[in-house]
Amino acid sequence: MTKTIRNFSIVAHIDHGKSTLADRLIQKAGLVNERDFRDQMLDDLDIERERGITVKSNTVTLPYQDADGTEYHLNLIDTPGHVDFTYEVSRALAACEGILLLVDAAQGVQAQTLAHLYSAMEHDLEIIPVINKIDLPSADIESAREQIESDLGLSADDAVLCSAKTGEGVDAIFAAVVERIPAPKVDEKRPLRALVFDARYDSFRGTIVSVRVMEGILRAKESIQLMSNQAVYNIEELGHHCLVRQPAKHLAAGDVGYLIGNIKRISDVSIGDTITLAENPATEPLAGFKLVKPVVFSSLYPISSDDYPSLVEALEKYVLNDASLIYEKDSSAALGQGFRCGYLGLLHLEIVQERLEREFDQAIIMTMPSVQYHFRLKSGETVVVDNPQYYPDPMQIEASEEPYIRANIMIPERYMGVVMELCRQRRGENSDFHYPAPGRIEVKFDLPLAEVIFDFYDKLKSVTQGYGSFDYDMAGYRESDLVKLDILVNGEPVDALATMVHKERARTRGVQICDRLKKEIPRQMFKIAIQAAIGRTVISRSTINAFRKDVTAKCYGGDISRKRKLLEKQKKGKKRMKMVGQVEIPQSAFVSILKTDDN
């Protein structure tokens, strides 16, 4: 039976066409009729559809019959391409025996192509290179083949050519999956061990756990045990993801599927946990996953303090589906009660913000994102600070450290100059480069994490006209010269606008923030002075002039209601504004300073 199972992920750099290829495979397998089909079917979150990116991995089981009439059972996992969600890919890989490594024929091998290839190799997976988008006029199949050989070290003869758009080559992909990806090697006789590699929350059914059965067999109605905490649940339903859940009697070793077991909260199961049977449990859990650690921290406040309880509820519900968001209580003099949150990156932060606003109807303000700094104090104590509110007394600081990353940047050679310049601007050091193939460069740089979390990727894309790509690994902490940059509105420091920055960057940041706020804060009845300061020293300022006049000429023909309704409406509009001291600051002002832009 396991001989006809194939487990594989589609893995690639962002936008190389993973979800579109998944569409073609799903259609070809006849899992969906024409009427119900929509592009990037597996991207089922609103935000995924709107932004055209995959945020969460998705599994689908495809029936397939080969030329000899053998029936196969293909478990496909579509993965996200964005760096923030790399952990989703590594989880998917743990459930597979092979991957389709897509390379966009017009873009060639990019940084994430390489990063994912490495992790697939670590998992000992069969790798099928696929050159996608061959229908594009700008497709350069020959150079894609060369890069597959030189950059990836794979044989170009093994590459399948395809267009996920037109469907060309899809049959060859099915054939390659069946022929080249090994069937899972398993032992059904051993006690059950199933790896939890994903989970979702459904308001009717509770937590729906995605599992890969490694050993033994999982049957409906059995009692299972989570090996991390010994918690026992009864399986209510198990089966395969076939766009809709398709219940089955059992999931045998080697298979990928789901189970539902009255698990109330997603936090009750941890991804990477091993499931075994309550009777006859396994002795050793499976290897599991490295803990994903947040990289960026920022606080979240309701615009209106009255909405705090509803924000609490929204967050509780939100994390049911996104356990990678961590949060704890926080409070601010300017913004009241809120939460300090840790995110995987800025895209993750944006997505959380958008989903809270749209799916949970929260009006929120986010403070300036920060990385985690280390401060060694004169007392000998070391404190970890990600929130400028807890910046230590400067007199007590002996030394400060900030996190660094090792960036891996892939570019065509002609962009070498601008990329070096960009990295140097971002305080990059210790560069190293090599030429995997003529005309292409792989550059490595040590960069402060704080310099890349904001807009480094966008900048890289723009200076390289879209040809540059980037991936990174954490590279520890290094000594740094940090200051706290305060923002004062009419002379009052606003804690929610403060940031910690490298001393050299403080002035530029200060000017930027003052400008942004000036653009975003609407004129009001009184003049508003905005200043950026380090300690008592003001390093930049801007002024928002007051209205010269603020009155309409007449109350139309006795239509007093109209006047009153307008006032009432404007008052309502103020609800999207946060009163900070005597000044109303719109939510957009907080958002605008999240984005940096050097130009």
Partner 1 sequence: MSDPAGLYVHVPFCLRKCPYCDFYSTCNLHKVDDFLDALKQELSMRLPSRPCPATVYIGGGTPSCLPPAQLSKLLSLLSNAADLSAAAEFTVEMNPADVDSTRLAILREAGVGRISLGVQSFDDRLLKTLGRRHDSAVAGRAAEDIRRHDFSLGIDLIYGVPGQSMATWQSCLHQAMSLNPEHLSCYELTYAAHTPLTAQVQSGALTALAEDPIAEMFLHSSDWLRAQGYDHYEVSNFACGRPQRSQHNQRYWSRLPVIGLGPAAHSFDGRQRWANHADVAAYVASLKQNQAPEASREQLTTGQARTEALALGLRTRAGVSQDLLNHFPKAACLLPRFQSEGWLRRQDQGWQPTTEGLLRADGMAREII
Name which of residues 165 to 194 contact ligand GTP (CB under 6 A): 165
| Number of other CB atoms surrounding residue 364 within 10 Å | 21
| C-alpha distance from residue 101 to each of 14, 235, 457 (Å) | 12, 35, 22
Residue 274 binding: pick among partner 1, ligand GTP, Mg ion, none (C-beta 5-8 Å cut-off by kind): none
Q: Smaller CB distance to Mg ion: residue 45 or 399?
A: 45
Find the part of the chain contacting Mg ion (CB under 5 A) among 10-18, 178-186, 349-357, 480-488: 10-18
| By CB under 6 A, residue 469 contacts ligand GTP | no
Find the part of the chain contacting ligand GTP (CB under 6 A) among 7-15, 118-126, 393-401, 487-495: 7-15
Q: CA dihedral in degrees (219, 220, 226, 232; nearest 10)? A: -130
| By CB under 8 A, residue 384 contacts partner 1 | no
Q: Which residues pair with 545 in a beta bridge?
A: none
Residue 564 binding: pick among ligand GTP, Mg ion, partner 1, none (C-beta 5-8 Å cut-off by kind): partner 1
Residue 486 binding: pick among partner 1, ligand GTP, Mg ion, none (C-beta 5-8 Å cut-off by kind): none
Beta carbon of residue 507, minimum distance to ligand GTP (angstroms, whole number): 36
Q: Smaller CB distance to ligand GTP: residue 54 or 469?
A: 54
Q: Smaller CB distance to ligand GTP: residue 16 or 212?
A: 16
What type of residue is 48? E
C-alpha span between 497 and 384 (Å, rounded): 20
- Strands ordered across the beta sheet of 5-12: 58-65, 71-78, 5-12, 98-104, 126-132, 160-161
Q: Which of 32, 45, 47, 136 forms a contact with ligand GTP (CB under 6 A)?
A: 136
Grouping H, G, I as helix, E, B as strand and the rest as coil, residue 350 is helix
Beta carbon of residue 371, minimum distance to ligand GTP (angstroms, whole number): 25
Number of residues binding to partner 1, judged by CB under 8 A: 24
What type of residue is 170? V
Beta carbon of residue 479, minimum distance to Mg ion (angstroms, whole number): 40
Residue 36 binding: pick among Mg ion, ligand GTP, partner 1, none (C-beta 5-8 Å cut-off by kind): none
* Direct distance between the N- and C-terminal alpha carbons of the chain, in angstroms, rounded to an integer: 61
Residue 255, sorted as left (phi over 0), alpha (psi -120 to 50) or beta, turns out to be beta
Name which of residues 14 to 43 contact Mg ion (CB under 5 A): 18-19
C-alpha span between 337 and 302 (Å, rounded): 8
Site string for partner 1, 507-546 (x = CB under 8 A): ------------------xx--------------------
Closest of 488, 458, 415 to residue 595, by C-alpha: 458
Q: Which residues contact 578 (CB under 8 A, 6 or more apart)?
A: 301, 303, 334, 335, 365, 584, 585, 586, 587, 590
**φ, ψ for residue 102 (rounded to 5)?**
-80, 140
| By CB under 6 A, residue 216 contacts ligand GTP | no
Q: Smaller CB distance to ligand GTP: residue 82 or 578?
A: 82
C-alpha span between 330 and 315 (Å, rounded): 14
Q: Which of 3, 50, 52, 384 forms a contact with ligand GTP (CB under 6 A)?
A: 52
Q: Smaller CB distance to Mg ion: residue 89 or 303?
A: 89
Beta carbon of residue 200, minimum distance to ligand GTP (angstroms, whole number): 17
Residue 554 binding: pick among Mg ion, partner 1, ligand GTP, none (C-beta 5-8 Å cut-off by kind): partner 1
What type of residue is 549? K
| By CB under 6 A, residue 110 contacts ligand GTP | no
Token output for 57: 């991995």
Residue 59 binding: pick among ligand GTP, partner 1, Mg ion, none (C-beta 5-8 Å cut-off by kind): none
| By CB under 5 A, residue 112 contacts Mg ion | no
Q: Smaller CB distance to Mg ion: residue 19 or 362?
A: 19
Beta carbon of residue 39, minimum distance to partner 1 (angstroms, whole number): 37
Residue 526 binding: pick among Mg ion, ligand GTP, partner 1, none (C-beta 5-8 Å cut-off by kind): partner 1
Closest of 213, 225, 220 to residue 188, by C-alpha: 213
Q: Which residue has the tokens 């104590």?
A: 381
Residue 189 binding: pick among Mg ion, ligand GTP, partner 1, none (C-beta 5-8 Å cut-off by kind): none
Q: Which residue has the tokens 């895209």?
A: 347
Name which of residues 10 to 49 contact ligand GTP (CB under 6 A): 12, 14-20, 40
| By CB under 8 A, residue 37 contacts partner 1 | no
| C-alpha distance from residue 18 to each of 198, 464, 528 (Å) | 19, 23, 50
C-alpha span between 588 and 520 (Å, rounded): 6
Token output for 40: 């990037």
Q: Which residue has the tokens 């996200």?
A: 80
| By CB under 6 A, residue 59 contacts ligand GTP | no
Q: Smaller CB distance to partner 1: residue 135 or 492?
A: 492
Q: Smaller CB distance to partner 1: residue 237 or 584?
A: 584
| By CB under 5 A, residue 86 contacts Mg ion | no
Q: Smaller CB distance to partner 1: residue 538 or 560?
A: 560
Burial of 249 (0-12, 13-18, 19+ CB in 10 A): exposed
C-alpha span between 112 and 408 (Å, rounded): 9
Provide the b/e sequence for 509-524 (b: ≥16 CB within 10 Å): bbebbbbbbbebbeeb
Name which of residues 551 to 570 contact partner 1 (CB under 8 A): 551-561, 563-564, 567-568, 570
Residue 556 binding: pick among ligand GTP, Mg ion, partner 1, none (C-beta 5-8 Å cut-off by kind): partner 1
Beta carbon of residue 80, minimum distance to Mg ion (angstroms, whole number): 6
| C-alpha distance from residue 559 to each of 334, 552, 555 (Å) | 39, 13, 6
C-alpha span between 43 and 507 (Å, rounded): 42
C-alpha span between 24 and 164 (Å, rounded): 6
Helix axes 308-321, 346-358, angle to 10 degrees: 120
Q: Which residue has the tokens 């000998």?
A: 380
Residues near Mg ion (CB under 5 A): 18-19, 54
Residues near partner 1 (CB under 8 A): 525-526, 547-561, 563-564, 567-568, 570-571, 582
Residues near ligand GTP (CB under 6 A): 12, 14-20, 40, 52-54, 80-81, 132-133, 135-136, 163-165
